[in-house]
Structure 1
């Protein structure tokens, strides 16, 4: 190690001596060399601690990037059924532009004979797959909008985020390119006759698991579940709302089943952009708030003085009603609505707006 002032080449024993606080060279007490030796010792100790800190940080980063990981090191099989235990080659067959230039609708295809029997895999909503960026060997989960069809096709709404490595990589792919996927992975299982009302709150591409859920259980008007479904979705601007293919389908479902499914679209601001499927006058400007949630539950007519005196706890009738909140979107939005994630992305405690409204962990699920 090189040290300024006078340059010295230090041996390991000298480094150990300095790190323990001992002077590098012994000097007679009271001599004119003792003070300079002490200054040099402090300088060396500081440099050693900095070097050790950099070494530790580099070691941790290296371990994260290069230490063997069960998912990253999973094998790739070309002729095995889709499974979370291995990667399967898939082909990009379509990449469609959206009103938001940072997003695209991307369709992947796997050979139909690789689709497992429906009863043996978690294909019930909500499920996702992992897509691997071959360049940096990183995988991220994505939700097929309409599941997987009989031809092995899966469509995804993908957005380019500033720090989203896999998203940027996916948007660079063209029809005919091959990528590797792993799954299906069950995200949240839908169980019939469990809830009276399901409120889905999403931001950005966080709407994709809810679109998959609704596409599965609300598409047949003659066979609707007993639960009522409400979707509160927020995007930054009108142009960044979900593409027409998604919004048109959701608006059609809302018009055909007004008592079973309703949708509210919010934007942070009206920036002058437009969306082909919805007029800006039909959008709510502002982020999803407590008032938005209460309005969706039919609780917006409460007396102002009850809220002021904190007497706005839910009534016995409201408490007996089985309501489930599903929240998906950017971490900041999830924290504001339902409280932050717990350790290692566990559910954690219910906080945010839903926490102040008195809802519990059994009634709130973060996706």
Structure 2
């Protein structure tokens, strides 16, 4: 091989070796994308943290003093009952503990007084969830001889009602009881409904509930769609039994009502409520018109429970097993 040919071959080999050995320059695009993504995520969380409101620690209600709250909306419920939706300031929730109630009176000190000139106050249990922001709903039945209920029904949207609370009643503890019976009548359903919605919607609940709810006619049954929905959703933990004093009839005069008829008496309680032999694993809550409460569990002594009496005492239940709202 001539010198020139050898040199040419050497140069070609050298160029090929250099081309193969030289490291390939890599793009920085993936690093830029990763950096941009990280910055985007950080920015997202930063903005959300900036917008997030601090956890509400205190109720806008005052347990020591009456405060005026604006009536935001009135929603007729049936022939003598309406939902009154009050506005809570700063879109806050009521944070009412279960079970508790409120006390209301007129915002006008001259509008609602008793025969002695003292303000008339009445307790009500809200039906709205305690964590619902911005609203508090009272379900109020208008009674012919009920001064407070007539006053509330006279309110118009934009008016105010003076409210104090919460007033603690029974300190509910999840799964404290295996069986709970709720016996209510008329608008006395509200504290029982408060317990049901709180307990049943908790994923940890194991307590089984039976609700005996008595009314005059089917048109008087309050919260029936809501109660039926709860029973449908939690069939293993809730049984609802409606009792009517005046059941509906067909055109032929034959009764079409298949539930218990008349007042809640011994037979109804024996059929649907767990027996007193369960001891501390059972609790019976009672709420309704004073006459019904007295017939079922004995008369209350003002704000105190009073002695156990009525149907429940006759059937062997003890004072520790019964609570009267």
TM over 0.5: yes
Alpha-carbon shift at residue 217 of structure 1 (Å): 1.5
Change (3 A) 1:296 1:90: same
CA distance in 2, matches of 1:197, 1:292: 17
Q: State whether structure 2 residue 67 is matched by structure 1 residue 88.
A: yes
Change (3 A) 1:141 1:280: farther
Q: Of 331, 335, 341, which residue of structure 1 is paired with 2:294?
A: 335
Larger deviation, residues 141-150 vs 224-233: 141-150
Given that 1:129 and 1:181 are in contact with CA atoms closer than 8 Å, whether structure 2 keeps it comes out as yes
Alpha-carbon shift at residue 195 of structure 1 (Å): 1.1
Given that 2:243 and 2:260 are in contact with CA atoms closer than 8 Å, whether structure 1 keeps it comes out as yes
SS state at 1:163 partner: coil
Q: State whether structure 2 residue 262 is matched by structure 1 residue 294.
A: no
1:239 maps to 219
Change (3 A) 1:272 1:281: closer
Offset from partner CA, 1:118-165 (integer Å, 9 cap, x none): 5xxxx2211111111231232211101123444331111101112211
Moved over 6 A (4+): none
- Mark the runs of 5 or more structure 1 residues left unpaired by the alignment: 1-79, 274-278, 300-313
Change (3 A) 1:175 1:188: same
CA distance in 1, matches of 2:274, 2:130: 36
Task: Describe how 1:215-226 pairs up with structure 2 within 5 A.
Answer: 215-220=197-202, 223-226=203-206
1:157 maps to 139
CA distance in 1, matches of 2:294, 2:271: 20
Change (3 A) 1:280 1:132: farther
CA distance in 2, matches of 1:168, 1:157: 13
Task: Describe how 1:78-117 pairs up with structure 2 within 5 A.
Answer: 81-99=60-78, 101-112=79-90
CA distance in 2, matches of 1:330, 1:338: 12
Alpha-carbon shift at residue 271 of structure 1 (Å): 5.4
Alpha-carbon shift at residue 330 of structure 1 (Å): 0.6
SS state at 1:84 partner: coil
Q: Of 178, 181, 197, which residue of structure 2 is paired with 1:199?
A: 181
Given that 2:101 and 2:124 are in contact with CA atoms closer than 8 Å, whether structure 1 keeps it comes out as yes
- Mark the runs of 5 or more structure 2 residues left unpaired by the alignment: 1-58, 113-118
CA distance in 1, matches of 2:63, 2:103: 8
Given that 1:82 and 1:115 are in contact with CA atoms closer than 8 Å, whether structure 2 keeps it comes out as no
Q: State whether structure 2 residue 230 is matched by structure 1 residue 253.
A: yes
Given that 2:60 and 2:88 are in contact with CA atoms closer than 8 Å, whether structure 1 keeps it comes out as no
CA distance in 2, matches of 1:154, 1:283: 33
Offset from partner CA, 1:190-212 (integer Å, 9 cap, x none): 11232111100001000000111
Given that 1:325 and 1:364 are in contact with CA atoms closer than 8 Å, whether structure 2 keeps it comes out as yes
Offset from partner CA, 1:296-323 (integer Å, 9 cap, x none): 1367xxxxxxxxxxxxxx6xxx344621
Given that 1:146 and 1:215 are in contact with CA atoms closer than 8 Å, whether structure 2 keeps it comes out as no
Q: Of 210, 214, 219, which residue of structure 1 is paired with 2:192?
A: 210
- Higher relative contact order structure (alpha carbons within 8 Å, sequence separation ≥ 6): 2
Report the count of equivalent residues. Answer: 254
Q: Of 239, 257, 260, which residue of structure 2 is paired with 1:284?
A: 260
Q: State whether structure 2 residue 151 is matched by structure 1 residue 175.
A: no
**RMSD after superposition:** 2.3
Change (3 A) 1:218 1:165: same
Larger deviation, residues 149-158 vs 194-203: 149-158
TM-score by length of 1: 0.64
TM-score by length of 2: 0.72
CA distance in 2, matches of 1:281, 1:81: 44
1:124 maps to 97
Change (3 A) 1:257 1:286: same
Change (3 A) 1:84 1:97: same
Given that 2:88 and 2:134 are in contact with CA atoms closer than 8 Å, whether structure 1 keeps it comes out as yes
